[in-house]
Every structure is written in C-alpha cells, then in structure tokens.
Structure 1
Amino acid sequence: MADKDPYVYKIRSVHKVVDGDTIDADIDLGFNISLTKRIRLADVDTPECRTSNTYEKKLGLEVKQWLQKNLDGKKEILIKTELPDSTEKYGRILGRLYVDGVCLNDRMIEEGYAWKYDGGTKKKDFALLEAKRNAISSLT
C-alpha cells in the first residue's frame, strides 16, 4: 500500500481503543508537540461494541480486546493515509494502522475480526466472521 498511502504519521501514544476500528491517540508532530485525534481504521468494518444485539456486542468486545492487545507496549505505531488531511465526515482521521511494520487493518480481516469495508452495508454475517476466526485459531 506504499503508493496508496503516502502520508505517514507516528503515533506517540494510544489513549483509548474506542472499539474494533477506532482509537484515540497522540500523533507526533515533531519538536516534542503532539495532537490528540480520533483515528478510524480505513477499509475495515468490525462488529459494534455498543449495540442491543448481544451476539454482535460479544464479537465487538472481542475485536476491541484483540486491537488493544496488538497495541499494548508497542514502540512503532504508524498511521498511513492517502491525503494529508484524511478526515472523514465525523472528523476522524481515516488511515491504515501499522504496528512494527505490519498493517493491523489487513490482519483483522485475515484473522476473522473484521470485514473489508464495503461502503456501509449494515447486514453482516456475524456467525461467518466468528467461524472464520475459529477456523484460523484451530490451525495454530
């Protein structure tokens, strides 16, 4: 994705994992200055943590925990975006999250924690997502 994501921002610290596809973090601006921003992981959609659907909520909390585990204690966290001001309609930075050189956006999909974002389709097959995750974990 190097050609598609030319703008790279270093994350100084992650304050909060909001849900499976959103974090609050300090972006390092240099000269010991940082800016706290909400960041939405691009190209992925995860089950919601705040919903009345208990099955979706369970899966949403699992992916939130997975993301937290993959961010805790990491030294090199980057956000790569297509544009210098890649904010979406809710004011969040939209980007791809890299930890130690690995794109977590892609890993979430590969490991069955997220769907590739399709532009907003709300009908999601939660059982299929969980089955994919279980199949992958049984191989390890």
Structure 2
Amino acid sequence: MQHRRVTLGVLVIVLLAGCSGAVPQSTPDSEPTTDAAAADRPGPSWNVTVMRVIDGDTVEIRYQNGSTETVRLLGVDTPETPPNSVSPGEFEGVADTDAGQDHLTEWGGRATGFAENNLAGRDVRLVVDSQADRRGGYGRLLGYIYVDGENFNRLLLTNGYARLYESEFRYRDRFAAAEATAQQEGVGLWGYQ
C-alpha cells in the first residue's frame, strides 16, 4: 500500500512538472479586463509582455508565469523583409516586378518598425480566437494583440502595413473592410505606383 502511494505521488509530481511550461488554458491572472474591447473578444486571453518583435506580424511574448511563446498575428500578413523573399502576387495592385518587390521589402521593414514602436517591451493583451486554428503551420500561436484596448492586427491593415490573410477567424469581415479602405485610399503599401 505504501508503495502505491509513493508511485502515485511521483506520477502526480511528474505530470505537474510536465505541464508547468504549457500555454495557460485559462486566464492566469485574477485581474478583470477593464478595456472597452473586452466584451467583443473571441476567446481566452492573457496579459503578456512583448519581449521581441520578430517582424511586422510575429512577436515573442512572455506570460506572467515566465514562460515564453512566439505569436503570429492572426488574420494579417506583412511583407517579408529579406530581399527577394516577398511575393508581389500576394498583394493586389502591386506589380510582380523588381520595383514591386523593392516596394514590398521597404514596407516590410516599415511594418516591423511600426510593430517595434507600438509593441516592443509593452504589456499587452493576447487573445486567441475560438473560430480559428490555435497554431499556424510553423507551430506559432495564432492570436490578436490588444494595445490600450485597440486590436493591433487591425491597425496593421488600417495603416497599410499588411494585407488580409486568407483564413477563417471571427474578425474577418472587419479586417477585410479595413484592408479595402486602405487600398482605396492608397494608404501605406497600397500606395504603390
């Protein structure tokens, strides 16, 4: 009987240790969300700190428990920054030429700068969408980042730093409208001549 208790105790400790680095499944803090956008959030959310901006649509965050995660911003795609790695065909209205590639590479750098200026070192709210996949093709967590109550993903579209990424998610219609307005007004990368 004593042997069973010891075995069970060891098993419980091993299971708890294995789960300690996992992404929290519910909000790990007890603070209520106070911003106006809270009622419109599509799924679980966490207060996190943006540790590093990888590029315009990818950041590394730290949860309050100290674990880290790479997050791909859901529903948006900013141009890649390494030369010749961007595909102008993905960005409607930008010519598939050297000039088009140069334009998008420039705007990829600007998108990264915009993300760094608005996110790096900031405490933000990370929200996952129950209508979307939890992880992308590279294993990154897919989510929305809220800064001072504003959806940063949508700000990328509104300011012409990104295109709508073709996938299913709760805010798809809103994001499509933001992209369409930016395109019509020639904002940001959509100002390609």
For residues 39 and 130 of structure 1, what CA distance do their matches in structure 2 show?
Answer: 30
Q: Give the TM-score, by structure 2 length.
A: 0.55
Is the Cα contact below 8 Å between 1:113 and 1:129 reproduced in 2?
no
- Identify, as 1 or 2, the structure richer in helix: 2
Tell me the secondary structure at the aligned position of residue 38 of structure 1: strand
Q: Select which of 47, 54, 60 maps to 2:102.
A: 54
For residues 92 and 54 of structure 1, what CA distance do their matches in structure 2 show?
Answer: 28
Q: Matches of residues 43-122 of structure 1 in structure 2 within 5 Å?
A: 43-52=75-84, 53-72=101-120, 74-75=122-123, 77-83=124-130, 86-119=134-167
Structure 1 residues 117, 35: closer, same or farther in 2, change over 3 A?
same
Is the Cα contact below 8 Å between 1:114 and 1:129 reproduced in 2?
no
Deviation at 1:64, TM superposition (A): 0.4
AA in 1 matched with 2:110: E
- Identify, as 1 or 2, the structure richer in strand: 1
Matched positions, count: 121
Is the Cα contact below 8 Å between 2:161 and 2:189 reproduced in 1?
no
1:32-74 Cα deviation digits (max 9, x unpaired): x221111000000111112324322211000000011111453
Tell me the secondary structure at the aligned position of residue 53 of structure 2: strand
- 1:20 matched to 2:65? The reply is no
Is the Cα contact below 8 Å between 1:43 and 1:117 reproduced in 2?
yes
Identical columns (%)? 30
1:71-118 Cα deviation digits (max 9, x unpaired): 14534x0110024x9222211110001011110011111111111112
For residues 67 and 98 of structure 1, what CA distance do their matches in structure 2 show?
Answer: 12
Structure 1 regions of 5+ residues with no counterpart?
Answer: 120-127
For residues 111 and 92 of structure 1, what CA distance do their matches in structure 2 show?
Answer: 24
AA in 2 matched with 1:7: P
For residues 19 and 65 of structure 1, what CA distance do their matches in structure 2 show?
Answer: 8
AA in 2 matched with 1:88: G
**Aligned CA-pair RMSD:** 2.8
Q: Give the TM-score, by structure 1 length.
A: 0.73
Structure 1 residues 58, 86: closer, same or farther in 2, change over 3 A?
same
Which ranges of 4 or more aligned residues in structure 1 deviate by more than 6 Å? none
For residues 40 and 135 of structure 1, what CA distance do their matches in structure 2 show?
Answer: 22
Tell me the secondary structure at the aligned position of residue 72 of structure 2: strand
Structure 2 regions of 5+ residues with no counterpart?
Answer: 1-36, 85-100, 168-182
